[in-house]
DNA sequence: ATCGGCAATATGTATGCACATATAACCCCT
DNA sequence: AGGGGTTATATGTGCATACATATTGCCGAT
């Protein structure tokens, strides 16, 4: 009669997960309420609550007040990708990170950049740089910085420090958006990444804001064969 | 002397976030311990704990027992992308989802597929299909299914139901991995996606397991101009 | 001076209770 | 039968307390 004890939210979490995977609670199935589970597992309701909350955040359970908890019909799996500094990303692969500033100017941005940032026709700081990993080209970076919001960046020696490193340390953003796509290498990208123009490149475009003020828009073109990978 | 009340973990969360953004607590800064914050905010330590835990999960705080809590030096922002069924993705864009099975066979997979799935030279179910959105080509899907693990799929009419829809309903996976990259369109991809061979395509490759047993490997080639976007 | 063990401390978590809140389900009235 | 208001219920959250656990840093022994 030694019913197994589930006295930590982790063990409850794992047991519920097991029942879902074992289809003891198939998709769409309503599961017992927290109070009953707490009794069954011999723990407090708060413990069950935490376990179920974590599973709901992972997309495996649907919870609604009064309606109860049920196993998600279409478990919308969520992939979480961390967005490190490129230097950290390179170092994490055991390679040496290099960085060369190719262009630094203040210019009126083209229409798509203006539209995305909403800064109108004012000149912005335009930076183009190349990141390398153990001397091999890694990422071609094309960035626009809203100097009206971060004027301090004008006084930074961006040949020594990457714009991104300076920005994360000095102009933290409150929110942003990120988009992933594929594009044919432009002439400049091909030259610096050591591939043929038209090669398929993995593109990351990121825009960040500090409250209502747009800070920066960056387009990263990764060298061919780059893969962004994560567990689900 | 009505000090503002922070009596819910959300308000505490927001206040701490504000202090981080306002650089009252700059990157690397050690913040007061939970007990002190609870006193300051006039709430229970558990409330502060939850607020800080959420911020730590978001990558904005680093927490270690005994060492305390500090503001992350390099806030590793995490982008969470949900991976819905393609049909749901299309419908969410307000378009009609279409699906055509192009090839269905049982064949010995090529070496890369064998390596990724670890199924050796045994024949697997090979499916090639095209997803459309309002009649425009959307995704070219190339999938291998381990029939040893999900034999039931042999009896399914996969011209009517997508393999993925059947699999999520009948062969839930415990874990998997997903990779994003860019590749030049192959001949078949170009034909069905209505683009030129060599066009840059956004590629998603996903492998899923049920415990130790590999279930399926799928390669999705999105039509040109596809962007995968999310907030950070 | 160095190493190993011990204690102090901050976070992590379980519990029992209370109350808040959303909402499904019921009842009543017309 | 239909519609609107009320109630019951499951989840969401807060609090006080207690104990667990990982570390840091101190202290003492060698």
Contact (CB, 8 A) for B52 and B61: yes
Q: B226, A184: Cβ pair inside 8 Å?
A: no
Element (H or E) spanning B47, and its range?
helix B45-57
Within 8 A of A201 by CB-CB distance, chain B residues are 182, 200
Contact (CB, 8 A) for B230 and A207: no
In the structure, what pLDDT confidence band is assigned to residue B1 with cuts at 50, 70 and 90? Answer: very low
CA atoms of B121 and B148, how far apart (whole Å) = 13
CA atoms of A11 and A47, how far apart (whole Å) = 10
CA atoms of B221 and B189, how far apart (whole Å) = 7
Least confident span in A23-27, A223-227, B2-6: B2-6
Considering only residues A170 and A68, tell me which one the structure prediction assigns the higher pLDDT.
A68
Q: Parallel, antiparallel, or unpaired: how do β-strands B68-71 and B61-64 relate?
A: antiparallel
Q: Which residues lie closer than 8 Å to A128 by C-beta, 6 or more apart?
A: A101, A102, A103, A104, A140, A141, A142, A143, A188
CA atoms of A66 and A45, how far apart (whole Å) = 16
Q: B172, A20: Cβ pair inside 8 Å?
A: yes
pLDDT digits (tens, 9 = 90+) for A176-206: 999 999 999 999 999 999 999 999 999 999 9
Q: A182, B177: Cβ pair inside 8 Å?
A: no
If you measure CA to CA, which chain B residue comes closest to A172? Answer: B21
Q: What is the arithmetic mean of pLDDT over B131-153?
A: 95
Element (H or E) spanning B10, and its range?
helix B9-21
Least confident span in A155-159, B70-74, B78-82: B78-82
Q: What residues of chain B, 189 to 208, have a C-beta less than 8 Å from chain A?
A: 198-203, 206, 208
* pLDDT of amino acid A142: 97
* pLDDT of amino acid B3: 54
Q: What is the DSSP string of B135-192?
A: TEEEEEEEEEE-TTT-GGGGGS-TTTS-HHHHHHHHS--SEEEEEEEEEE--HHHHHH
Q: B202, A210: Cβ pair inside 8 Å?
A: no
Within 8 A of B75 by CB-CB distance, chain A residues are 168, 172
* pLDDT of amino acid A1: 44
Q: How many CA atoms, within 13 angstroms, populate the side-chain half-sphere of residue A86?
A: 27
In the structure, what pLDDT confidence band is assigned to residue B4 with cuts at 50, 70 and 90? Answer: low
CA atoms of B147 and B57, how far apart (whole Å) = 38
Question: Is the per-residue pLDDT at A223 higher than 50?
Answer: yes
pLDDT digits (tens, 9 = 90+) for A87-146: 989 998 999 999 999 999 999 999 999 999 999 889 999 999 999 999 899 999 999 999
Q: Strand D: which positions are within 7 A of a protein CB?
A: 8-18, 21-24
pLDDT digits (tens, 9 = 90+) for B75-129: 777 888 888 889 989 998 999 999 999 999 999 999 999 999 999 889 999 999 9
Q: Which residues lie closer than 8 Å to A111 by C-beta, 6 or more apart?
A: none
* pLDDT of amino acid A4: 61
pLDDT digits (tens, 9 = 90+) for A20-68: 999 999 999 999 999 999 999 999 999 999 999 999 999 999 999 999 9
Question: Is the per-residue pLDDT at A148 higher than 70?
Answer: yes
Q: Strand C: which positions are within 7 A of a protein CB?
A: 8-18, 21-24
The SS3 of residue B121 is coil
**What is the pLDDT of chain B when averaged over all its residues?**
93
CA atoms of A104 and A132, how far apart (whole Å) = 18
Length of chain A as a residue count: 232
Q: What is the arithmetic mean of pLDDT over A218-228?
A: 96
CB-neighbour burial class of residue A16 (10 A; exposed 0-12, middle 13-18, buried 19+): buried
Q: Is the entire prediction scored with pTM above 0.85?
A: yes
- Most confident residue range from A73-77, B67-71, B88-92: B67-71
* pLDDT of amino acid A2: 45
């Amino acid at each position: 009669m030694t019913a197994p004890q589930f006295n930590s939210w982790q063990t409850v979490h794992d047991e519920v997960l097991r029942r879902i995977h074992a289809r003891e609670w198939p998709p769409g199935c309503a599961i017992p309420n927290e109070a009953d589970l707490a009794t069954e597992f011999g723990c407090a309701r708060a413990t069950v609550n935490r376990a179920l909350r974590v599973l709901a955040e992972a997309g495996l359970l649907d919870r609604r007040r009064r309606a109860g908890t049920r196993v998600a019909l279409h478990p919308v799996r969520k992939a979480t990708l961390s967005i490190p500094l490129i230097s950290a990303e390179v170092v994490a692969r055991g390679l040496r990170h290099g960085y060369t500033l190719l262009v630094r100017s203040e210019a009126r941005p083209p229409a798509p950049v203006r539209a995305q940032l909403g800064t109108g026709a004012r000149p912005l700081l335009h930076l183009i740089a190349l990141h390398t990993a153990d001397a091999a080209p890694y990422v071609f970076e094309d960035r626009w910085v809203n100097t009206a919001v971060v004027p301090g960046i004008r006084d930074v020696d961006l040949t020594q420090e990457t714009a991104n490193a300076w920005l994360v340390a000095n102009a933290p953003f409150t929110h942003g958006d990120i988009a992933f796509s594929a594009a044919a290498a432009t002439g400049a990208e091909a030259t610096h990444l050591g591939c043929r123009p038209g090669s398929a490149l993995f593109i990351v475009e990121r825009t960040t804001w500090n409250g209502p003020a747009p800070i920066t828009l960056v387009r990263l073109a990764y060298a061919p064969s780059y893969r962004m990978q994560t567990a689900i």
